[in-house]
Amino acid sequence: MNASRPPLKPLDTALQELLGYATALAGIEQVSTFEADGRVLAQDVVSALHVPPQDNSAMDGYAVRCAELDKGVPLPVSQRIPAGASGQPLQPGSVARIFTGAPVPAGADAIVMQEDCELLLPPDAAPGTLGSVRISSTPKPGQWIRRAGEDVTRGAVVLSKGERLTPASLGLAASIGMSSLAVLRRPRVALFSTGDELVMPGDIAPEQMPPGAIYNSNRFFLRALLQRLGCVVTDFGIVPDQREATVAALREAAQQHDLILTSGGVSVGEEDHIKPSVQLLGELDIWQIAIKPGKPFAYGKIYRGEGEGAARGAQDACHFAGLPGNPVSSFITFMVLVRPFLLKLQGITQAVPVSMALPAHFDWLRADKRREFLRVRRNAAGGLDLFPNQSSGVLTSAVWGDGVVDNPAGATIAKGDMVQFISFAELMG
Ligand code: AMP
Ligand code: MG
C-alpha cells in the first residue's frame, strides 16, 4: 500500500460534504394534481375548508335522537337522506333513513346501522312509504357519526413545502379542492457510460459479441433509478475512453444540466479519463470513499464558463458525480450518495433511509477496513440470508437481494448477530 495516499473518506463525512454542495434548485412549476405524483411541493398546502365539510353518517342506517329511543318501540321514519342530499332537522319522535356520507340532520345525535333495525311497512304500502323502524340496540351519542373536520380542519397545513408527493397525498390535496399544485422543477441529469468494452444490447447479438466486449448494464439501472427520483434524464450514451472525447462530452453536457452522472473510468488507470477531465474543466471535491463496494466514487463541478480550470469560474457550475464502473459498485454508490444528493437538490432534506435491526442467518468472517454493503434477502424466518457471491461485478446479487446489510468497517458477523438492514425500497424511492 502506498503510504502517501490520502486515507479514504468515511461515508458519513463524504455524504455530509456532498449534501453541503447540494442547494435546492430554483424554479417552481404549477402542475395538475393528476400529474404531481413524486414531485416535491414548493409551498405549503393549506385547507380552505373542513374535511369532511359537515358531520355525516359512517353507515347506511337511521339517524336518531338517543334520548327518544325506547328499546323495541318502533319510531316513524320522517325523511330519507341519501349521500349528496342535505336533509331537514330531525322531527321530534322520529328517525331519518340515512346513507353513508350523507349529512347528519340537525337534532340527531347518533346513527344506528341498518343491521340493528327492523323496518316495519304496512303490507299494502305504496312505493316510497317510509314506514317505521324498531331498533334492537342501544346507541351511544356520537355513534357512527364522522365529525366535520375530523380529517382536516380549515386553515390546517395538510402538506408541507419540501414534501415529496405520494398517491395518498394527491388524494388528500384533491380532498381540499386543489386541482393543481406548486412543485419544484425536476433536476436535469446527463447520464454517461464510459468504457470501450461496452456494447448496447440490441447493437450486437450475444453470439456475435467480440472478445472483451460486455453489454452496458449500468446505463439501464442508472436511468431507471434517476427517473424514480423524479429527474429528467438526457442519456448521452457511451463515451469512449479518450481524454478529448471525455472533456468534450462533459463540457457540452454541463451547459444544460444540473448534474452529470458518469459510470466507469473514475479510478487511477491510464484508461480512466474522468477524474483528470473534471479537474481540467472544474474541480474535484470528493474522491474515493471507504465503502465496499463503491470506493472510486467522485464528486466535483464542471464550470460552465469558457477557458480552462479555475478561470472558467466556479459560480456557474454543473454538479458532477462519477460512479465506479463495476455494476454493483455503481448501484450502491448511487443509492447511498447520489440519491440523497438528488433529493436535496429537490429541496428534500429528510432522505435518511430507515434501517432495521434483523438477525443475520449467515456468517461473515472477513472483516474489511471499509464499511460494507452486503447484498442480503429477508427470509420467512425473519432473518437475513446472504447472497453467496459478494463481488462488485455480480449484479445478480442486487436482483436476488431485497436490500443490504450496512456492516461497519472492521466488523465480522456471526450467525444470530443483529445487523442493520436497509431495504432497496428505502434506497430507491
Ligand atoms: P472501470 O471503473 O471503468 O474501471 O470499470 C470497472 C469494471 O466495470 C470493468 O470490468 C468494466 O468493464 C465494468 N463496467 C464499466 N462500465 C460498465 C457498464 N456501463 N456496464 C457494465 N459494466 C461496466
Ligand atoms: Mg473503464
Q: How much is the pLDDT for 141?
A: 97
What is the rounded distance in angstroms from the CA atom of residue 228 to the CA atom of residue 204? 29
Per the rule left: phi > 0, alpha: psi between -120 and 50, beta: everything else, 288 is left
pLDDT at residue number 429 = 84
Cell of 106: 340537525
Measure 198 CA to ligand 1 centroid, in angstroms.
8
Ligand 1 atom 11 nearest Cα: 325
Kindly state if the Cβ of 361 falls inside 6 Å of ligand 1.
Answer: no
| C-beta 324 within 6 A of ligand 1 | yes
d(CA 188, CA 231): 6
Ligand 1 nearest atom to the CA of residue 296, by list position: 2
Q: What is the DSSP string of 373-409?
A: EEEEEE-TTSSEEEPS---TT-THHHHH-SEEEEEPT
The bound ligand whose nearest atom lies closest to the alpha carbon of 324 is: 1
Q: Measure 196 CA to ligand 2 centroid, in angstroms.
A: 7
Cis status of the peptide bond prior to 353, with omega within 30 of 0: no
Topology of the domain covering 11-26+186-345: Molybdenum Cofactor Biosythetic Enzyme; Chain A (3.40.980)
Asked whether 219 lines ligand 1 (CB < 6 A), one says yes
Probe target for ligand 1 pocket from 192, 218, 242, with the most ligand atoms within 8 Å of CB: 218
Report pLDDT for 305: 82
| Beta carbons of 298 and 275 less than 8 angstroms apart | yes
Whether 294 lines ligand 1, by a CB cut-off of 6 Å, is: no
- Superfamily for 356-428? MoeA, C-terminal, domain IV (2.40.340.10)
Report, in angstroms and rounded to the nearest whole number, the Rg of the chain calculated over CA atoms: 31
Give the distance (Å) from ligand 1 centre to CA of residue 100. Answer: 60
Q: What stretches in the chain show pLDDT beneath 50?
A: none
What torsion do the CA atoms of 339, 344, 346, 350 make, to the nearest 10 degrees?
90
CA–CA distance, 347 with 186 (Å, rounded to integer):
11
- What residue owns the CA closest to ligand 1's atom 16? 325
Q: Which atom of ligand 1 is nearest to the CA of 265?
A: 3
Distance between Cα 329 and ligand 1 center (Å) = 10
Burial class (CB in 10 A: 0-12, 13-18, 19+), 260: buried
Residue-level pLDDT at 291? 98
**CB 235 near ligand 1, within 6 Å:** no
Q: What is the residue extent of each domain of the chain? A: 11-26+186-345, 28-48+158-184, 56-146, 356-428
What integer pLDDT is reported at residue 352 of this predicted model?
86
Question: What is the CATH T-level fold of the domain 56-146, as seen in this structure?
Answer: Molybdopterin biosynthesis moeA protein; domain 3 (2.170.190)
Task: Report the C-alpha gap between 353 and 336 in whole angstroms.
Answer: 9
* CB 103 near ligand 1, within 6 Å: no
The helix (H) or strand (E) run that includes residue 222 is helix 218-228
Distance 216 CA to ligand 1 centre (A): 8
- Examine residue 7 and say whether the peptide bond preceding it is cis (omega within 30 degrees of 0): no
> Residue 400 Cα, ligand 2 centroid: separation in angstroms?
26
The pLDDT value given to residue 3: 55
CA 332 to ligand 1 centroid distance, Å: 14
d(Cα 419, Cα 47) in Å, to the nearest integer?
43
Ligand 1 within 6 A of CB of 162: no
CATH number of 28-48+158-184: 3.90.105.10
383 lines ligand 1 (CB under 6 A): no
Verify whether ligand 1 is closer than 6 Å to residue 217 (CB atom). yes
pLDDT in tens, 55-88: 999 999 999 999 999 988 999 999 999 999 999 9
- Helix, strand, coil distribution of the chain in percent, nearest 5: 25, 30, 45
